[in-house]
Amino acid sequence: MSLLGKIKSTMGLLKEVDLNKLATINEKIDLKQAMDALGDLDDRQLKGLMKMLTSKAKKGQHQLPPIDGDFYNLDLKLSSAQRDLQMKVRNFMEDEIRPLVNDHWNRAKFPMEIIPKFAKLNITGVPYEGYDCPNMPFLMEGIIAQEIARVDVSISTFFGVHSGLAMGSIYLCGSEEQKQEWLPKMQKLEKIGAFGLTEPNVGSAVSQGMETTCKYDGENWVLNGQKKWIGNATFADVIIIWAKDIDSKRVKGFLVRKENTGFKAEKIEDKMALRIVQNALITLTDCKVPESDRLQNANSFKDTAKVLKMTRAGVAWQAVGCARGAYESALKYTKKREQFGRPIASYQLIQNHLVEMLSNLTAMQTMVFRLSEMQDQDILTDEHASLAKVYCSMRTRDVVSRAREVLGGNGILLEHDVARFVADAEAIYSYEGTKEINSLIVGRAITGYSAFVN
Ligand SMILES: Cc1cc2nc3c(=O)[nH]c(=O)nc-3n(C[C@H](O)[C@H](O)[C@H](O)COP(=O)(O)OP(=O)(O)OC[C@H]3O[C@@H](n4cnc5c(N)ncnc54)[C@H](O)[C@@H]3O)c2cc1C
């Protein structure tokens, strides 16, 4: 290189130098001595040194990508206000809920103290218009369900039963007076709701074989029967009870208040999933309900089905949240856990599990996103909601089982959250229509043949 070339290249190098950094380095090592030593090295030695330094820097400073289960950036489809709300819910779940869930899940206790804090988020009754409800798109209801379930499926079930099934029954089937009485207070979580449809002897076939009865005695409706699995019912203020009218043989809906005589709710113990949710066995013994507490626009099971259609999409989102929580926990774990001297995330077989989880999760997310768009466009059918519920609850089972697998023995400890997601995925799989029942709904729609009963 000519002298001029050398000067130019030195000037170029000097331009790049951060003098402050150089001064700091000079405090730690004798730079002049180091430069002299470097000057004595030949080309081959210099290349070797550079290789060593860059590979050390890579190892030391290896920047791991952030953990985020939204691989296709669906969040970019939200407005900034919607994204802010999503983050508000996420922060609440991380700060207030995550620290207490495993302990409460273990003890099968519901953290009552979170209810007023939850109310402050103003996310109850998201899609409803009026009655102090936010009146946001169904898409936001889904995003919120995902965010809650991402941390804990029990809390998301508490919320789904209250805001979706119970408030939804009143919103879709109540009279104006009933809506005015209940919805604003339920929106603020001052009153809590439950939804009683399933019975001890009749689950999937409840549309046809409901055993709980109602009969008007000239003064009141008299309800008799039992309801099983009813979430929130041990502490709810109002329980929507569906019962068959002995006279008209039609299904009617009732606002049963917890203080009604003849109403009893006993907690179902020893569940292996959703342990935080307080599910009850309800017994109605000559339970008297005034006509003013009969849902005025619920005239047959078709009206009950309207409520289920509206909320089934939310359950599909819940499955997505469960899968996302398990995937993110598993990914985090595999980056930290070292075996054979390296993080297990660096092994091909572990990466295969992670990619399978992520592909399932991403397929589910894109599916429910479209599902909610259809709900917002009012073109959602029962079979659309059923397909998403079937697909997402099946794929979630696969995701959580892979998450449990990459955690090894720790996968069965509550401490890492994954064990809880594994158990809770089982409840999502069964409620709001089992895989078989939702498949039969879709099967009927695409073939034109009903295969429910032979
Ligand atoms: C944790 C949890 C919370 C719940 N919360 C509530 C709640 O708040 N309110 C409420 O009302 N209910 C609630 N449920 C009830 C839930 O909706 C029912 O469990 C569900 O509908 C299935 O009914 P089942 O459990 O009685 O099963 P069954 O109906 O007895 O079904 C048993 C099996 O038979 C299959 N099967 C039934 N019929 C057919 C057929 N024709 N063809 C093929 N297979 C068939 C089912 O798919 C299933 O695999 C909850 C359930 C759970 C587990």
Minimum-distance ligand 1 atom for the alpha carbon of 273 = 1
CA of 128 to the centre of ligand 1 (A): 27
Homologous superfamily (CATH) for 302-447: Butyryl-CoA Dehydrogenase, subunit A, domain 3 (1.20.140.10)
Rounded to the nearest integer, the mean pLDDT of the chain is: 92
Residue whose C-alpha is closest to residue 417's, from 92, 105, 65, 71: 105
Dist CA 252 CA 254 (whole Å): 7
- CATH 1.20.140.10 in the chain: give the residue spans: 302-447
Among 19-28, 56-65, 366-375, the minimum mean pLDDT is found in: 19-28
Homologous superfamily (CATH) for 74-192: Acyl-CoA dehydrogenase/oxidase, N-terminal domain (1.10.540.10)
| The pLDDT of residue 429 is above 90 | yes
Substitution site in 437, 440, 441, 450 for ligand 1 pocket (most atoms within 8 Å of beta carbon): 437
CA of 386 to the centre of ligand 1 (A): 14
pLDDT of residue 452: 87
CA of 440 to the centre of ligand 1 (A): 14
Report the number of secondary-structure helices (H) and strands (E) in the chain: 17, 9
Substitution site in 229, 275, 397 for ligand 1 pocket (most atoms within 8 Å of beta carbon): 229
Minimum-distance ligand 1 atom for the alpha carbon of 196 = 11
SS3 of 283-322: EEEEEEECHHHECCCCCCHHHHHHHHHHHHHHHHHHHHHH
Q: Is 230 in the pocket of ligand 1 (CB under 6 A)?
A: yes
Pairing of strands 238-245, 221-231: unpaired
pLDDT of residue 198: 98
**Residue range 280-305, pLDDT digits in tens:** 999 999 999 999 999 999 999 999 99
**Residue range 118-134, pLDDT digits in tens:** 999 999 999 999 999 99
Substitution site in 110, 162, 195, 198 for ligand 1 pocket (most atoms within 8 Å of beta carbon): 198
Per-residue pLDDT, averaged over 66-92, amounts to 96
Q: What are phi and psi of 242, to 5 degrees?
A: -100, 130
- CATH 2.40.110.10 in the chain: give the residue spans: 194-299
| The pLDDT of residue 42 is above 80 | no
Residue whose C-alpha is closest to residue 142's, from 28, 297, 311: 311
pLDDT of residue 439: 97
pLDDT of residue 60: 54
pLDDT bucket at 8, cuts 50 / 70 / 90: low
Secondary structure element (H or E) that encloses residue 84, with its range: helix 80-92
pLDDT of residue 37: 72
pLDDT of residue 59: 57
CA of 202 to the centre of ligand 1 (A): 8
pLDDT of residue 14: 54
Residue whose C-alpha is closest to residue 384's, from 138, 65, 133: 138
**In the Cβ-directed half-sphere of 94, how many Cα atoms lie within 13 Å?**
8
Dist CA 179 CA 185 (whole Å): 10
Q: Which residues pair with 222 in a beta bridge?
A: 215, 288
- CATH 1.10.540.10 in the chain: give the residue spans: 74-192
Minimum-distance ligand 1 atom for the alpha carbon of 434 = 47
Q: Is 198 in the pocket of ligand 1 (CB under 6 A)?
A: yes
- Nearest alpha carbon, ligand 1 atom 25: 203
**Residue range 211-267, pLDDT digits in tens:** 999 999 999 999 999 999 999 999 999 999 999 999 999 999 999 999 999 999 999
Q: Which residues pair with 254 in a beta bridge?
A: 241, 294
Sequence-distant (≥ 6) Cβ neighbours of residue 61 within 8 angstroms: none
Question: Directed axis angle between helix 301-336 and helix 348-376, to 10°?
Answer: 150
Q: Which residue has the tokens 């078989």?
A: 436
pLDDT bucket at 6, cuts 50 / 70 / 90: low
pLDDT bucket at 40, cuts 50 / 70 / 90: confident
User: The whole model's pTM is what?
Assistant: 0.87
pLDDT of residue 358: 98
CA of 179 to the centre of ligand 1 (A): 29
Check: CB of residue 152 under 8 Å from CB of residue 164: no
| The pLDDT of residue 10 is above 60 | no
Minimum-distance ligand 1 atom for the alpha carbon of 436 = 47
Range 194-299 classified under CATH 1.10.1060.10: no
pLDDT of residue 55: 56
